[in-house]
């Protein structure tokens, strides 16, 4: 038998090593897109009246998390995403302009940055509305948008008061022209195009759409279906359609840059839809149409600010071609789960216990592991209400102490919370109340310690 040429033999020896390397994927890129106040049924794939072709396609080609829960309002949800912990552990329950997190908090971007990730936020921060409390101090290499909450779409001003001027780039306040959605997406796409291609990245895009006040460009108003009538309903529909197209721009940028196959994309909302007055007095006047927003959470109960399903159960899509199998995932998950999930995917091992309340979802979402029973805990603004889900039950608590009132729902059989069965299930009620009290005590202990 003739000897193989040296190069051929070397390649044969290397093949197993090359195959092994191919089977070990590198650190994935992560894009997390969060809408603001987008309701359960505001999207077309849940029956919404405004077309959302980009999101419909991501849903059809990806995995829909049909029981994904946020906090009832914005800053708490963002706290949960950044820390993997219940927002109430930090005493954060309302939209807040004061600094939300302790300086030494190991945030999601900090964890990923320690592994070599580039990190970027374009959009709404709302975890500390002064420049010195901004995203660059909590793990983001680059940040842009609103330090405070939702802003006027054209003047980029927050509510009247000390935090009204909030538009920034890397925590330097600036003035720009253009619609807020276009500006946020332009910054995100330019960052994607200009970054180092050989390093992984985490891009967080917390849009301000569809938060009030809504005032859309004429080009989007012209595209609103004729069946949607009234000034504010048309503005709201145009805002949803504009948001959908913005998500499409990010996907297109990933494809153009050759990054789509190595990028996990997640889309969700920070809380349920709202029917608040569009032309309220909190914002500087800028020609906003008067009337209530048309946030749609049907058939879920209630809306933004509530611990009922309409306030916290939100659209959520996971999309990664070739990695994530299309379908639906019906087990309950929560915003606090994303930090443990992303950290596990990236290979991050905490140097200390970060006291995550969330769990790594990847085994159940992609690897076929059965979901484990778990308790989901939700706190409303000011601790005025709480909810606790432990399937098949959901407990709702209004007030606290001896004056607290309780409602109990079979949330699996009655997802729209139409029948309070507390009186018929005294043993279950007692057990769920004890679970609730354990969570509440953990809140008090964490806030006192921090």
Tell which phi-psi region holds residue 305, choosing left (phi > 0), alpha (psi between -120 and 50) or beta: left
Residue 449: predicted pLDDT: 63
Query: pLDDT of 228-278, one tens digit each?
Result: 999 999 999 999 999 999 999 999 999 999 999 999 999 999 999 999 999
Write the CB contacts of 437 (distance below 8 Å, at least 6 apart in sequence).
none
Please list the pLDDT of the chain residue by residue as tens digits (450 residues).
333 343 333 333 343 333 333 333 579 999 999 999 999 999 999 999 999 999 999 999 999 999 999 999 999 999 999 999 999 999 999 999 999 999 999 999 999 999 999 999 999 999 999 999 999 999 999 999 999 999 999 999 999 999 999 999 999 999 999 999 999 999 999 999 988 778 999 999 999 999 999 999 999 999 999 999 999 999 999 999 999 999 999 999 999 999 999 999 999 999 999 999 998 889 999 999 999 999 999 999 999 999 999 999 999 999 999 999 999 999 999 999 999 999 999 999 999 999 999 999 999 999 999 999 999 999 999 999 999 999 999 999 999 888 999 999 999 999 999 999 999 999 999 999 999 999 999 988 887 665
Cβ-based burial of 138 (10 A; exposed 0-12, middle 13-18, buried ≥19): buried
The reply to whether domains 26-365 and 384-449 share a CATH topology is no
Chain centroid to CA 433? 28
Q: Give the separation between CA 395 and CA 350, rounded to whole angstroms.
A: 33
Longest Cα pair distance anywhere in the chain, in angstroms? 91
Residue (of 207, 189, 191) closest to 199 by Cα position:
191
Torsion of the alpha carbons at 310, 357, 383 and 214, rounded to the nearest 10: -40
Residue 220: predicted pLDDT: 98
Chain centroid to CA 272? 11
Q: Give the separation between CA 184 and CA 211, rounded to whole angstroms.
A: 14
Vertex 43: Cα angle to 157 and 382 (nearest 5): 55
Query: pLDDT of 5-25, one tens digit each?
Result: 433 333 333 433 333 333 335
Residue 3: predicted pLDDT: 39
Residue 2: predicted pLDDT: 37
Which structure tokens are listed for 74? 């914005």
Residue 448: predicted pLDDT: 61
Write the CB contacts of 114 (distance below 8 Å, at least 6 apart in sequence).
348
Tell which phi-psi region holds residue 78, choosing left (phi > 0), alpha (psi between -120 and 50) or beta: alpha
Which structure tokens are listed for 397? 């608590």
**CA dihedral sign of residues 121, 273, 309, 362:** negative
Residue 168: predicted pLDDT: 98
Residue (of 4, 86, 70, 84) closest to 37 by Cα position:
70
**In the chain, where the domains are located:** 26-365, 384-449
Share of the chain above pLDDT 70, in %: 94
What CATH superfamily classification does 26-365 receive? Alkaline Phosphatase, subunit A (3.40.720.10)
Write the CB contacts of 398 (distance below 8 Å, at least 6 apart in sequence).
384, 385, 404, 405, 406, 407
> Are 358 and 338 in contact, with CB atoms under 8 Å apart?
yes
186-195 — which CB contacts under 8 Å span 24+ positions? Answer: 187/122, 187/144, 187/145, 188/120, 188/122, 188/250, 188/253, 189/249, 189/250, 189/253, 191/120, 191/122, 191/142, 192/250, 192/253, 192/254, 192/257, 192/259, 193/253, 193/256, 193/257, 195/118, 195/120
DSSP string, 161-177: STTSB-EEETTEE----
Q: Give the separation between CA 411 and CA 420, rounded to whole angstroms.
A: 10
Reduced to 3 states, what is the DSSP secondary structure of residue 83?
helix
DSSP structural state of residue 288: P
The reported pTM is 0.94
Q: Give the separation between CA 45 and CA 126, rounded to whole angstroms.
A: 29
Backbone angles phi, psi at 348, to 5 degrees: -80, 130
Domain 384-449 matching CATH 3.40.50.620: the answer reads no
Reduced to 3 states, what is the DSSP secondary structure of residue 120?
strand
Vertex 38: Cα angle to 89 and 305 (nearest 5): 45
> Are 57 and 319 in contact, with CB atoms under 8 Å apart?
no
Compute the 3-state secondary structure of the chain and give helix, strand, coil in percent, each to the nearest 5: 35, 20, 50
Query: pLDDT of 56-74, one tens digit each?
Result: 999 999 999 999 999 999 9
Residue 420: predicted pLDDT: 98
């Amino acid at each position: 038998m003739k000897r193989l040429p040296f190069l051929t033999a070397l390649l044969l020896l290397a093949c197993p090593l090359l195959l092994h390397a191919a089977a070990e994927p590198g650190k994935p890129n992560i894009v997390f897109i969060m809408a603001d106040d987008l309701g359960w049924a505001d999207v077309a794939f849940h029956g919404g009246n405004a077309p959302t072709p980009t999101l419909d396609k991501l849903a059809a080609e990806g995995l829909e998390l049909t029981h994904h829960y946020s906090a009832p309002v914005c800053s708490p949800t963002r706290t949960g995403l950044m820390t993997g912990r219940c927002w109430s552990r930090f005493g954060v329950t309302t939209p807040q302009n004061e600094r939300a997190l302790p300086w030494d908090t190991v945030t999601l971007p900090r964890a990923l940055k320690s592994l070599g990730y580039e990190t970027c936020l374009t959009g709404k921060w709302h975890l500390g509305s002064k420049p010195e409390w901004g995203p660059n101090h909590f793990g983001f290499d680059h940040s842009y948008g609103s330090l405070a909450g939702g802003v006027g779409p054209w003047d980029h001003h927050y509510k009247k008061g000390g935090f009204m001027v909030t538009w920034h780039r890397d925590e330097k306040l600036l003035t720009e022209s253009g619609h807020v959605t276009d500006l946020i997406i332009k910054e995100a796409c330019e960052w994607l195009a200009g970054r180092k291609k050989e390093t992984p990245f985490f891009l967080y895009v917390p849009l301000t759409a569809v938060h009030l006040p809504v005032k859309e460009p004429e080009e989007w108003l012209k595209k609103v279906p004729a069946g949607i009538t009234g000034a504010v309903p048309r503005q709201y529909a145009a805002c949803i359609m504009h948001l959908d197209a913005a998500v499409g721009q990010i996907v297109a940028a990933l494809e153009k840059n050759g990054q789509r196959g190595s990028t996990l994309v997640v889309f969700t909302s920070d809380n349920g839809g709202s029917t608040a007055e569009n032309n309220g007095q909190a914002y500087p006047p800028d020609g906003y149409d008067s009337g209530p927003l048309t946030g749609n959470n049907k058939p879920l109960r209630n809306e933004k600010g509530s611990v009922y399903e309409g306030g916290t159960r939100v659209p959520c899509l996971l999309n990664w071609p070739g990695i994530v199998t299309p379908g639906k995932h019906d087990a309950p998950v929560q915003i606090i789960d994303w930090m443990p999930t992303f950290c596990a995917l990236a290979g991050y091992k905490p140097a200390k216990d970060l006291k995550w309340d969330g769990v790594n979802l990847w085994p159940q979402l992609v690897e076929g592991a059965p979901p484990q029973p778990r308790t989901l805990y939700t706190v409303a603004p000011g601790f005025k209400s709480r909810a606790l889900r432990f399937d098949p039950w959901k407990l709702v608590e209004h007030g606290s102490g001896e004056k607290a009132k309780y409602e109990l729902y079979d949330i699996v059989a009655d997802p729209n919370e139409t029948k309070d069965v507390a009186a018929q299930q005294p043993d279950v009620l007692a057990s769920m109340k004890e679970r609730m009290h354990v969570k509440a005590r953990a809140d008090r202990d964490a806030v006192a310690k921090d």
